[in-house]
Amino acid sequence: MMTALMLAREGITGSWQPPEVTARSVIDSPDLGHLSGPPQTAVIDYELMAPLFIDFEQVVPEDGPLRGVAYLCHSDALHPGPLVELMRLAAPGPDVFAQQLDYLHHYADLRADRMEEIDVQLTDLTSFFAALAHIHPARNKATLAFIQAALRFCAMVQFRIKHGFGCPRPSCLSPQIQPMIQTPAHGSLPSGHATEAIFLATLFKALAEELSQGLEGERAAWLQQFNTQCDRLAVRIAASRTVAGVHFPVDSAAGAVLGDTLARYVLARVKAPAPGDPAAETPVPWRKLDADMSAFGAADYTVDTMASLRDGGAINGQTVTTVTTGELPLRYSPQLNWLWSACRAELRRGAPEQES
Amino acid sequence: MPLYWRTETAGPTNPLPRHPAAHWWYTLQDEAQAVGQGEAASLLALDLEDSNEAAPARPILMSPEQAQALHRGGAIPDQADPLAALLERVRDGLRDRTLFAPILPKAAQCGCAPLGTTPPLELPAVPSDSTVIGVIDDGIAFAHPNFRMGQGRRSRFASVWQQDAQCLRGTTSDVPFGHVFGRTEIEERLARADFDEDRFYQALPVIGQAGHSPFRHRRLHGTHVADLAAGAGRGDAIDTDPEKFPILAVNLPTALVSDTGATFMAGAMILGVQDIMRRTETMMATAGQAFPLVLNLSFGLGGIGKNGGHLIAAALEQAMDYWHQTHGAPMRVVLPAGNTLQSRLVARAEIAPGAPHRATLRVAPENRGSTYLEIAVARRAQKPTHASLLVKVTPPTGAGLYPPALPQGPMALDSALQLVEQTDNNGANGLAQFGIYYGFQRDFAPEGDTAPGDGVEIVTVALPPNAAKDPYRPLPPCGDWTVEVSLAPGERQLRDIELRVLRNDVPNQINPVRQRSWLEDSAYVTYAADGHMSVELESAGCAVSRAGTLNALCGGRDIVTVAAAVGNRQALSNYSAAGPGGPLAEGANVTLHACADDAAVNPGRRAAGARAGSVVRMSGTSVAAPIVSRQLAIALSSWHQSAQDDPAGFAPIDDLISRGPYRPQDRAGLGGIAAPDPVGAAVATEEPG
């Protein structure tokens, strides 16, 4: 091809006589539609990741062994506003993992039942959530691009925190677990599948709000059912990892806290109002989850305990998650806004204001 | 290690009939307890001749201490009537009319204080023109929407006895173990769980082993069966008037069902049947009206009678007689014909002086169940003092197990001969390698020319499992065991004998590693000339037979025995067993068939999985049986508008038949009920509004 182009130019270009014109630079265009692949994902990933940082400390409580604590913080050097602690997550001590070991034995009964799901979910969770609505690669290009971008962000954070905690896997504690899949090399808590499952559940609930605009009738009931299915699916995906023998239920519990936090953060970032919008003057309210996984103890990860982790309810009489509300001042990102707007437009296809 | 033969003979002071399964359990139990791994079993005693028109025979529950004392021949503690009276009759030498069945050791006994504040069981008031459907199975997911009515808010179950649940009512419970969920409690639990089935089952008391609730699984035998028998969504009278078809269920413990040697089956089954009858009677008393009752038991047993099969069958026939005579309403018991046509579990031979029969019993490796081979003299007679057969068992070649010479025959009846290995670590009783039990089973349902006391000699060979979760003992070898059956010394008359291996397999979802034992014969024809599986009842020159492979629970004339047919062909399913019944059950035969397989390439029928929206496919005669139970229940519901003068003869089974019969009749009965619509009925479930 290069030779052909070179030869054709030699044949037609003639004498060098450039016209006297200039072309405008497109400074920081919000529209990434002309990009694809790594150039597009690099821009989005940078925008999402830049103001986020993760800190760790080691804690030696009076009544227990060394534990890790992770802090997820937002601090934007280019935007006035204090550092905001988005989430605090304390890993459990070794005693909790020992208490949780019996679950690996009990859940192993379901290995034959869950085999197909576990296999597919090694690499794909999105398809399960997408099945809750009419999502298709052709009709939902921007939606799926948004989901993929969000998942990359989630993965980056979750792997950093996993590495920070360095928690043991179930097969470290017993040779009788014999997982039905390869135990990943990285640490167990928080569970990546549980994190991503709740992350996707929370994102898809936001997507469903948009989708519901194209429906008529009992929209609230449809949304409630959609949300219930999201929660149940997320818990099932996480529990399947315990069935497979590679996670403790407490790993999934920690994943629920992290996944919920990250999804709300992503949604807040992509929805941040533009300068000039009156809403831009007001910081976004932020629910900070402060979770201590030692308090989860010997509890199981179910729809009920997941809800308590997310909302701050008691689990077996213990407070695991404390919820505090604060403010999150956010800088507008044109590129993230473009991504969300394109996604929203797709989802609202069929809504009255869309079609008129 | 030294091997020796140990002989024990039952007698007046140790009258426990050497029910081989129970005896084998006690042997293994003794060993396990000696090394701190076992739990003592309690015992159910049922005197089948102690029934009358006023009430069916009531079982007596003996504590583990009483059971052990009975087994060992010692003084039985804490005797009070009716146990004392039963033991007196037993000591009179009439023990063969009494069923002694061990109860699963891990069943949660109800002797302790109540847990929490569970109120007493209340049965619902049901319409006076109700027809009760009883289902005894395992894994009936009783929160499933297919078993609800009133827009999903109300349960169709009047009661569910979960036999292996924690006993919540303690000493106030009216069952000896487990917990009975009444309709009110089920509905309250549903409401508390916000009608979420996962929440419902998570909140139940511990069932079976903690953390291993059966309701977590997707495929549950009992749910599939109960859905076919009584579930919603099939567009028939049960959908139109669900109130009038209350369901009474008994969930047998999964651990019990997985032992198809049926060590614990008899006791649990009989108690379950009586529970359903008792609860129905309570509802009838409230309604002031007798109800027709259809009872579906989708279980099959192999063997003849010593495992309790004949006794259970007799108990079922007695129950129906009692219902007809006492309440004047119809009762039907529906059983599957069995799936063992191809399983090589039955053989017949003739033995003569100097001409024994040698059978090869192949025991597969990884066999986690005991293997029982019953050898019956196919002839009824009065009970002799000594056995007319002599059985010699030779372990597989190369197993390194060399028993000393057998004691000289003839063997006294009611004696147990065990090959025991003496070890340093396992106590005075040593380790039993296998056992040969010489017994006699009295006919409890005699008909025709049978004289009172007539019965059948049965010798049982019992091999322990050759694989165990946590073996505390060396295990016997797998391979080909040779069982030589000859006439006892002094016997001159030819004898026809029948050999039956008890089933030793379970549905995959319970125990995928369970292997079977079967009879090997080189003349057995597996495949027909056209390449299909042969269904010929006999193979030339072969002792192993497909004839008479019927479920040993199918006793006599009144039990409805259902075979399996294929929907899209004029044919029976190639596993569906053949009648007639074995010794003591010659009157038993296949009654009719129902479609248990949609097509040869698509076996099974679809019905409810464990959760709403889940549909699973299962096959077998235990799928055919509930299809008939449902039709019977609908037919019997018109009893209330009839003259009500012939409970036994009302709605004859012929009325249901519209297909076949196919050949041979030993497998097909009178014919079959209609195959399903190929499109299939829509499964409509109601969720709470």
Q: Once rounded to an integer, what is the mean pLDDT over residues B450-462?
A: 85
pLDDT at B688 over 50: no
Q: Once rounded to an integer, what is the mean pLDDT over residues B376-399?
A: 90
pLDDT at A43 over 60: yes
- Which comes out higher in pLDDT, residue B308 or B30? B30
Enter the DSSP assignment of B672.
Answer: B
Gap between the Cα atoms of B294 and B673, Å rounded: 17
Are B199 and A103 in contact (CB < 8 Å)? no
pLDDT band at B108 (very low <50, low <70, confident <90, very high): low
Residue B154 lies in a domain: no
pLDDT given for residue B496 in this prediction: 94
pLDDT at B51 over 70: no
The three-state secondary structure class of B300 is coil
pLDDT given for residue B505 in this prediction: 67
CB-CB contact of B639 with B292 (8 Å): yes
Pairing of strands B98-103, B148-149: unpaired
Residues 41-80 of A with CB under 8 A from B: none
- E strand segments, B280-370: 293-297, 331-336, 346-351, 357-363
Gap between the Cα atoms of A4 and A10, Å rounded: 10
Query: What mean pLDDT, rounded, does chain B reach?
Result: 86
Domain tally for chain B? Answer: 1
A101 touches chain B (CB under 8 A): no
Output phi, psi for B385, to 5 deg.
-85, -30
Of the candidate ranges A75-79, A239-243, B159-163, the one whose mean pLDDT is the lowest: A75-79
Task: Tell me the per-residue pLDDT of A258-276, one tens digit each, with 9 for 90 and over.
Answer: 999 999 999 999 999 998 8
pLDDT given for residue B689 in this prediction: 39
Task: Pick A303's closest partner by Cβ from B198, B211, B512.
Answer: B198
CB-CB contact of A188 with A253 (8 Å): no
Pairing of strands B455-463, B371-377: antiparallel
B192 touches chain A (CB under 8 A): no
Closest CA to B535 of B675, B669, B666: B666
- E strand segments, B89-192: 98-103, 132-137, 148-149, 154-155, 157-162, 179-182
Q: Once rounded to an integer, what is the mean pLDDT over residues A324-330?
A: 94
Query: What mean pLDDT, rounded, does chain A reach?
Result: 94
Task: Tell me the per-residue pLDDT of B243-288, one tens digit each, with 9 for 90 and over.
Answer: 999 999 999 988 777 776 666 777 888 889 999 999 999 999 999 9
Residue B325 lies in a domain: no
Give residue B250's identity as a one-letter amino acid code.
V
Q: What are the structural domains, with CATH classification, of chain A?
A: 43-355 (1.20.144.10)
Task: Please list every residue in chain B whose beta carbon sits closer than 8 Å to the beta carbon of residue A105.
Answer: 211
Omega into A352 within 30° of 0, i.e. cis?
A: no
pLDDT at B507 over 80: no
Closest CA to B578 of B554, B595, B600: B554
Q: Which chain B residue shows the shortest CA-CA distance from A228?
A: B196
Residue B256 lies in a domain: no
- Which comes out higher in pLDDT, residue B313 or A138? A138
H helix or E strand, kind and range, residue A8: helix A2-12
Q: Is B422 exposed, middle or buried (0-12, 13-18, 19+ CB in 10 A)?
A: middle
Token pair recorded at residue A230 = 């999201």
Gap between the Cα atoms of B545 and B498, Å rounded: 10
Q: Which chain B residue shows the shortest CA-CA distance from A305?
A: B199
Gap between the Cα atoms of B143 and B612, Å rounded: 9
Residue B512 lies in a domain: yes
B202 touches chain A (CB under 8 A): yes
pLDDT at B373 over 80: yes
Task: Please list every residue in chain B whose beta carbon sits closer than 8 Å to the beta carbon of residue A102.
Answer: 211
Task: Pick A304's closest partner by Cβ from B199, B212, B217.
Answer: B199
Contacts of residue B484, Cβ cutoff 8 Å, sequence gap at least 6: B356, B357, B358, B359, B391, B392, B393, B394
Residue B408 lies in a domain: yes
* Domain membership of residue B372 as a residue range: 3-10+342-520
Output phi, psi for B455, to 5 deg.
-170, -160
Give the closest-approach CA distance of A266 to chain B in angstroms. Answer: 31
Query: DSSP letters of B445-458?
Result: S--TTPPTT-EEEE
Residues 499-518 of B with CB under 8 A from A: 509, 512
Are B212 and A106 in contact (CB < 8 Å)? yes
Q: Once rounded to an integer, what is the mean pLDDT over residues B448-455?
A: 76
Phi-psi region of A339 (alpha: psi -120 to 50; beta: other; left: phi over 0): alpha
Are B199 and A110 in contact (CB < 8 Å)? no
Closest CA to B140 of B231, B260, B269: B231
pLDDT given for residue B686 in this prediction: 40
Three-state SS string over B193-217 comes to CCCCHHHHHHCCCCECCCCCCHHHC
A35 touches chain B (CB under 8 A): no
Interface probe with A: pick from B215, B218, B508, most Cβ of A within 10 Å:
B218
Enter the DSSP assignment of B129.
Answer: T
Token pair recorded at residue B401 = 């197990």
Are A302 and B512 in contact (CB < 8 Å)? no
Interface probe with B: pick from A240, A304, A306, A316, most Cβ of B within 10 Å:
A304
Interface probe with A: pick from B201, B217, B469, most Cβ of A within 10 Å:
B217
The three-state secondary structure class of A215 is coil
- Which comes out higher in pLDDT, residue B312 or B333? B333
Task: Pick A113's closest partner by Cβ from B212, B217, B512.
Answer: B217
Omega into B353 within 30° of 0, i.e. cis?
A: no
- Which comes out higher in pLDDT, residue B548 or A172? A172
Token pair recorded at residue A122 = 């090694």
Give the closest-approach CA distance of A110 to chain B in angstroms. Answer: 7
CB atoms near residue A139 (< 10 Å) = 12
Kindly give the residue spans of alpha helices, DSSP state H, lying in B241-302. Answer: 254-257, 265-287
Closest CA to A252 of A185, A176, A197, A172: A197
Rg of chain A (C-alpha set): 24
pLDDT at B20 over 80: no
pLDDT band at B680 (very low <50, low <70, confident <90, very high): very low
pLDDT given for residue A165 in this prediction: 96
CB-CB contact of B46 with B98 (8 Å): yes
Gap between the Cα atoms of B132 and B313, Å rounded: 21
CB-CB contact of B124 with B663 (8 Å): no
Give residue B647's identity as a one-letter amino acid code.
P
Helix axes A219-244, A94-107, angle to 10 degrees: 100
Task: Pick A113's closest partner by Cβ from B202, B211, B218.
Answer: B218
pLDDT given for residue B440 in this prediction: 85
Q: Which chain A residue shows the shortest CA-CA distance from B508?
A: A112
- Which comes out higher in pLDDT, residue B467 or B132? B132
Interface probe with A: pick from B199, B216, B511, most Cβ of A within 10 Å:
B216
What are the residues facing A314 on neighbouring strands? A319
Query: What is the share, in percent, of chain B residues with pLDDT greater than 90?
Result: 50
Task: Please list every residue in chain B whose beta carbon sits closer than 8 Å to the beta carbon of residue A302.
Answer: 198, 202
pLDDT given for residue B96 in this prediction: 56
Give the closest-approach CA distance of B254 to chain A in angstroms. Answer: 13
Contacts of residue B648, Cβ cutoff 8 Å, sequence gap at least 6: B320, B324, B330, B558
Q: Which chain B residue shows the shortest CA-CA distance from A304?
A: B199
pLDDT given for residue B13 in this prediction: 61
B51 touches chain A (CB under 8 A): no
Enter the DSSP assignment of A280.
Answer: G
CB-CB contact of B44 with B99 (8 Å): yes
Task: Pick B216's closest partner by Cβ from A105, A109, A304.
Answer: A109
Closest CA to A30 of A43, A45, A21, A42: A43
Give the closest-approach CA distance of B479 to chain A in angstroms. Answer: 29
The three-state secondary structure class of B16 is coil
Q: Once rounded to an integer, what is the mean pLDDT over residues B66-78?
A: 79
pLDDT at A159 over 50: yes
A221 touches chain B (CB under 8 A): no
What are the residues facing A277 on neighbouring strands? none
Task: Please list every residue in chain A whose beta carbon sits closer than 8 Å to the beta carbon of residue B196.
Answer: 303
Query: Distance of alpha carbon B529 from its chain centroid, rounded?
Result: 36
Which CA distances in Å does A271 have to A72, A129, A333, A337, A339? 20, 22, 9, 6, 10
Q: Which chain B residue shows the shortest CA-CA distance from A103?
A: B211
pLDDT at B627 over 80: yes
Q: Which chain A residue shows the shortest CA-CA distance from B193?
A: A304
Residue B347 lies in a domain: yes
Query: What is the share, in percent, of chain A residues with pLDDT greater than 90?
Result: 86
Token pair recorded at residue B190 = 């549903």
Which CA distances in Å does B561 have to B29, B212, B556, B581? 35, 33, 10, 11
- Which comes out higher in pLDDT, residue B129 or B60? B129
CB-CB contact of A86 with A265 (8 Å): yes
Q: Which chain A residue shows the shortest CA-CA distance from B220?
A: A113
Of the candidate ranges A8-22, A63-77, B464-478, the one whose mean pLDDT is the lowest: B464-478
Residue B475 lies in a domain: yes
Gap between the Cα atoms of B256 and B254, Å rounded: 5
Enter the DSSP assignment of B284.
Answer: H
Give residue B528's identity as a one-letter amino acid code.
A
Task: Tell me the per-residue pLDDT of B186-230, one tens digit each, with 9 for 90 and over.
Answer: 999 999 999 999 999 999 999 988 899 999 999 999 999 999 999
CB atoms near residue B37 (< 10 Å) = 12
Give chain B's end-to-end CA distance (angstroms, integer): 71
Gap between the Cα atoms of B460 and B438, Å rounded: 7
B71 touches chain A (CB under 8 A): no
Are B217 and A109 in contact (CB < 8 Å)? yes
Residue B57 lies in a domain: no
DSSP3 helix / strand / coil % (chain B, rounded to 5):
25, 25, 50
Token pair recorded at residue A92 = 């459990």
pLDDT at A187 over 50: yes
Q: Which chain B residue shows the shortest CA-CA distance from A243?
A: B216
CB-CB contact of B635 with B649 (8 Å): no
Give chain A's end-to-end CA distance (angstroms, integer): 47
pLDDT given for residue B554 in this prediction: 85
pLDDT at B469 over 80: no
Three-state SS string over B378-437 comes to CCCECCCCECCEEEEEECCCCCCCCCCCCCCCCCECCEEEEEEECCCCCCCCCEEEEEEE
Kindly give the residue spans of alpha helices, DSSP state H, lying in A141-248. Answer: 141-165, 170-173, 192-211, 219-244
A116 touches chain B (CB under 8 A): no
Task: Please list every residue in chain B whose beta carbon sits closer than 8 Å to the beta carbon of residue A112.
Answer: 509, 512
Q: Once rounded to an integer, what is the mean pLDDT over residues B521-537?
A: 93
Size of interface A-B (CB pairs under 8 A): 22
